[in-house]
Amino acid sequence: MIASAERHGLAVLTLLKAGADPNRKNNLGRTALMFASTYGLTEIVKYLLDYKADPNIVPDDNIGWTALIAAAYNNHAETVRQLLDSGANPLVIDKQGKSALAWAEKKTFRCNSYTTRASPEIIARLTLINGITGQCKVK
Strand locations in the chain (E):
110-111, 114-115
Q: What is the pLDDT along the chain (139 residues), one digit of tens a residue?
A: 788 888 899 999 999 999 999 999 999 999 999 999 999 999 999 999 999 999 999 999 999 999 999 999 888 889 999 999 999 999 899 999 999 988 887 764 444 554 445 566 676 667 655 544 343 433 3
Q: Is this prediction's pTM over 0.75?
A: yes
**Residue 35 CA, distance from chain mean position:** 9
Domains in the chain: ranges and CATH: 2-129 (1.25.40.20)
CB 84 within 8 A of CB 129: yes
